[in-house]
Every structure is written in structure tokens, then in C-alpha cells.
Chain A
Amino acid sequence: MNSEQKTPVIVVENLTARFGDNTIFENVSFTVYKGEILVILGGSGCGKSTLLKHIIGLYKPYAGKVVVNGVDIAAASEEQLRQVRMRFGVLFQAGALLGSMTVAENVALPLSEYTDLSPAAINLVVKMKLGMVTLSGYENHLPSEISGGMKKRAGLARAMALDPTILFFDEPSAGLDPITSVELDNLIKSINAGMNTTMVIVTHELESIYTIAHRIIMLDKEARGIIAEGDPRVLKDQSTDQRVHNFFNRLPM
């Protein structure tokens, strides 16, 4: 297990994000290892979501590079990018289900595009995935007919449709009630344990962070980079950095 944990899956090297004259962060470097849950956190506006979008290839880096599964995302060809993206799933903030399709059709979409399974087999896999996120029975509901928490879980089922080796989450528990939020955390943990999926999660919900994170990296707006890295439970008590200490102990600056 220990040797496996040391397999790097995502390597970010000296990444700089800049829009026009506005530099979001500079020289950010870190590595995500196979099977770990890494949480990216920080206050509003520090570039958490921007960092995530750089890793999944939606934004091009201003400088530096992002390597996922051995492929440099910025330099990859369309076909390479397609191959890499097939191996990862992304859960967007509000689920990002296609509104004109039912929940089952949403989950079946990547399956029918990337595999040669028969419709009956796809149907079965969809039922299985919906069962995993405890949405059994909601196949024929439209996204507008289910609640926000359910949309997130359906989005997760779609992100997991192709059994990705990496899952990205953009604020999974934002806007959810505490119970649904805990259920989602447990789901994330059980999927991570059961399938050994590498996960990168952007969040600032402290409760979630303590429950699910193996390791965190903390970004800061003023520092324009990483100000802390490590186990959140340890950082909470031992960090000497005032900003990190205040964040983990819910203190105002």
C-alpha cells in the first residue's frame, strides 16, 4: 500500500495563472499520489477553482506545466487530451447535468460515447452507478425535478460512469444541508476506499476537510501561492502561520 501511495498521478510544476494583468497565483508546485484524497482550500478569491480548471485542462497555464497520468495537459494534442479526460471525471459545482436529458440519459452519455456496450448493458451500469450514489429509482426524472443535493449525486454518478482513476470535485458540499453534506462525504470516502480512486477536491467546508482529506494544500490570495501543505488535523494545532491557524480554527483575521 505504501509503495502504491507514492505513485504520482498529477504533477503540477511552477504553475502560474494570469488573466490580463491580474496574476491569480505564481509558481505553484505540488504532486498528487495514487489513491489519495487531496483537498485544495483557501479563502474566497484565492484561485482554488482556477487551479482546478488548469489541472483539468479548461484553462491554459501562463507559465509552468500540469502533468496528468504522464501527459502534459497544456502541450497535449486533442486526441491525447481526449484519452486523458476519458480516465478522469469531474463533478461541477451545481452538478452540471444537461437539463434536456433525464438523470439516466445523463449518466449513460459517456458510456454510449466511449464504450461499445449494448443499450441493455448500459442501462444496467447506469442503475448500478445510481445505486452507488443512492439515487435508485430516479432514472426518468429530469434534473429540474430533483433537489440540489440529488443533482450533485447524479453529477457524481455521471463523473464515475467510466470508472475514472481520478475524480475532481468543485465544492462538493457547497449549498447542501449538513446531513446531505455528510452523506456525500461518506460517499466520497467509500468510493475512494472501494475503487482506490485518486481525488482532488476544492472546498472550504472545515467539517468535510477533517473527514475526507488525506492531505491539504492551502492557497492564499495575498501570497499568490501555497502557504501550507499537510494533514489538516496536524495543521490545525501545530501550524505557526497565523493565516493557516485562523482558517482551521475559524478565527477572523
Chain B
Amino acid sequence: MARGTAQQPQYTVNIAGEPQGAVTLSVSGRITLDNLNAFTAQARAVFSDTSPAKLSVDLFGLSYLDSAGALALVQIEGEAKAKSISFQFINATDETSRMINLIDRKALTMAPLISGRVTANLIEQIGEASVSFLNDIIMVITFLGELLRALMYSVLHPRSVRWNDVLFYMKRAGVDGLPIVSLISLLLGLIIAFMSSLQLKQFGANIYVASLVAVGMVRELGPIMTAILVAGRSGSAFAAEIGTMIVNEEVDALAVMGFDPIRFLTVPKVIASMLVVPLLSLYASLFGILGGMIIGVTGLDLSAYTYVTQTMDSIDTFGVVSSLIKSAVFAMIIAGIGCQRGFQVRGGAESVGASTTSAVVSAIFLIIVCDSAFAIILYYIQM
């Protein structure tokens, strides 16, 4: 990185004159950004070595000076003036003096208009975090209200919904996500069946592996895994898309043209997600059960027929319907939070990144909270 100039300095500095008297500092050669450090150290020695009463800097032999070199000369001038030494540049060519004049001497000592950002102490940080957390909750609730109002409006005025966008996002969030959702659910089914069979084998209860996988996948893991995958794939994409639109002033443009940004941008995403995520979670359950069946047939001496019959016996309509409703609610959380985080973007690229991360983390957190609530509510309904 350091471009070796120390071995062969491209400049020379000569000090002539009497100590405490008139001293001439002759500079020649090239003074540039590369040898700024060395030159400054060498030239400033004039003050300690001779402590002059009058200092002239002779620029006669100077072949090249860039703005950093000019800065070094202006620094010497400044130091001389600070020590009340009478100072002048002599034999400067037009080019050199133009360069020196380009340097705004006042700018070098001017204090910044705002002081640097100081990091707050621990207590302040805790306080700030609490305040921003509370504000965040308020903003999410406000957004939820606006979203519900916009959804109600869409239900009453179906023609106002941008159905082309809805189809586009259904493809993005649903169809394009199907392979990864299927693969992960299949593996999940395999793992659950394999791990549970190790325990159930000891009691000769192999057949209950089918029930366990069916109930687990349909009631909990199908919806949850799908929701987490969609949050990672689509929630983040929604936040990044709207965030970038905010940065490019596209959202302002929509508002000025008389569109409600929430109705225009959020509603299609929310409707599309609420339509496809339940379907995806059905697929997830199906592939999970398929994974369980692979273990059941190959490892547990169950026939495919027995496995399917046992699975059918374990699943009831209530379980399937409640898991579909749960998935739709998860979808609304994912799309809603994704869009809300997108709308929060202020500034530039960094903020888009932060909001994308926040969209995924908040969505997953809210999904788990919501799932706990569902577990309790469904338990009492079923009783």
C-alpha cells in the first residue's frame, strides 16, 4: 500500500541563514501526497533547529506541487504566524501560487458544524431501546389498523384491487416457493418418523409413528415451517422492494398521484400471501407425511396401505381447517410486517438492509407468539 518514496525522496529541503535571524528554507523537486509526511517532518525542523525571527520559503526549484504539497506549505506558514515569525513565500511561479491560493486557510481550522456522533452510555442505550420498542409496537398496531381498513375497502370494492399484482405475487410467494417448501417438509417428515420410531419401536408401537407425523405436520409443523420459509423468502422481498421504492421517491409519487400507498402496494401482497400460504402449508403437510411414509415402509415393516389408513384416522376436519386458518393469519403477519418495515425505510441503502432483516426477525417472532395463542384457543374450542 505504501508506495516506497522514503528511499529516494523526490524533493530536497535546504535551510540557510543565521539562527534567531533571517532564515531561508529552500524547497525543490516534487512535493505530493506521497511524500507529505516526510516533507512536513523535515521542513518543520526549521523551527526547532534555527528558531528564526524571519522565515522565507524559497520555492524556486519546485517542479511539481499538488494540493497536499500546497497544504504542507500552508501549514508551515500557519505555524510561523502562530509563533509571530514574519513569513513569506519567494520565487513562486504562477502555477505554484495558484495552487497555494486554492487552499482555503480558514477551512483548515474551522470546527465541524455538528459534533461527531457520540455513543450513548448503557443506561441511555437501554432507555432509547425501550422507547423505540414502544414506538415500534405503536407503529405496528397503527399499520395493522390501516391495513385492516384497506382490506375492508377491498372486500367492499373488489374492482379497486390490482388483481394483476395479486397474481404476480401469488406466483412469487407461492409457486416459486413450492420446491423448497416441499423439500424441507419431506426431510422434516423423514426426521420426525425416524427419531420417533427409535422410541416407539421399544413398545412395539410402530404404527403410531404414522399418527405422530400426521398430527405433528398438519397441526403445527406444516403451517410453522411454511410461514418461516415464506417470511425468509417473501417477507424480506416485500420489505426490500417497498424500502427501495421509498428511497427512490416512488412511494411519494404514488401518494401525490392520489393513490393510497397501502392500498396500492400492501393489499395485493397481503391478499396474494393469504391465498397461497395456506395452500403451501397443505403441501408441506402432504410432503411431511410422505417423508414419514418412506421411513414407515422402508424401516418399520408397515405397508403403505396401513400407513395411509392410520394417517387418515389421525387427521380430522377440524385439525385441517384450523391449520388453514392459522396459515392465513401467519401470511397476513408476514406480508403486513414486510410491507410495514419497508415503509419505515429512511435514508439509503443501509436502511433498506436493516428493514429487511427486521422484517424477517419480527415476522418469525410474531408467528411464534401467534401460534402459542392459537394452541390455547384451539384447545378450549375443541373441548
Contact = CB atoms under 8 A, between A and B. Distances in A.
6 contacts: A99-B351, A118-B37, A140-B112, A140-B117, A195-B67, A195-B99
Nearest to B347: A144
Interface residues of B, number: 37
Given A136-B106, A137-B110, A100 B99 contact: no
B107 A121 contact: no
B343 to A, nearest CB: 17
Nearest to A103: B112
A144 B114 CA distance: 14
Given A117-B37, A163-B68, A191-B102, 4 more contacts: A114-B1, A115-B2, A140-B113, A144-B348
- Lowest 5 A-B CB distances belong to which pairs? A131-B107, A99-B348, A131-B104, A136-B107, A163-B66
B67 A128 contact: yes
A132 B112 contact: no
Nearest to B103: A128
Interface string B106-129: 111011111111000000000000
User: Which of B1, B107, B111: most chain A CB closer than 10 A?
Assistant: B107
Contacts of B116: 140
B101 interface: yes
Interface string B70-102: 010001000000000000000000010011011
Nearest to B353: A100
A130 interface: yes
Interface in A126-170: 127-132, 134, 136-144, 160, 162-163
Interface in B332-365: 346-351
Contacts of B113: 137-138, 140-141
B36 interface: yes
A125 interface: yes
B104 A132 contact: yes
A104 B102 CA distance: 19
User: Which of B33, B98, B351: most chain A CB closer than 10 A?
Assistant: B33
Interface residues of A, number: 38
A99 B350 contact: yes
Given A137-B111, A141-B113, A132 B103 contact: yes
A166 B222 CA distance: 61
B34 interface: yes
A164 to B, nearest CB: 10
Contacts of A143: 348
A116 interface: yes
A190 interface: yes
A40 to B, nearest CB: 26
B286 to A, nearest CB: 44
B102 A190 contact: yes
B32 interface: yes
Interface in B1-24: 1-2
User: Which of A104, A139, A143: most chain B CB closer than 10 A?
Assistant: A139
B68 A140 contact: no
A129 B115 CA distance: 19
Contact of B102 (A113, A117, A138, A195): A195
Contact of A140 (B2, B95, B115): B115
A191 B98 CA distance: 10
A128 B71 contact: yes
Interface in A154-197: 160, 162-163, 190-191, 193-196
Given A130-B107, A137-B112, A195-B66, A163 B102 contact: no
B112 to A, nearest CB: 4
Contacts of A136: 104, 106-107, 110
A124 interface: yes
A142 B348 CA distance: 11
A163 B104 contact: no
B103 A131 contact: yes
A69 B66 CA distance: 18
A132 B350 contact: no
A130 B102 CA distance: 12
B108 A100 contact: no
Nearest to B2: A116
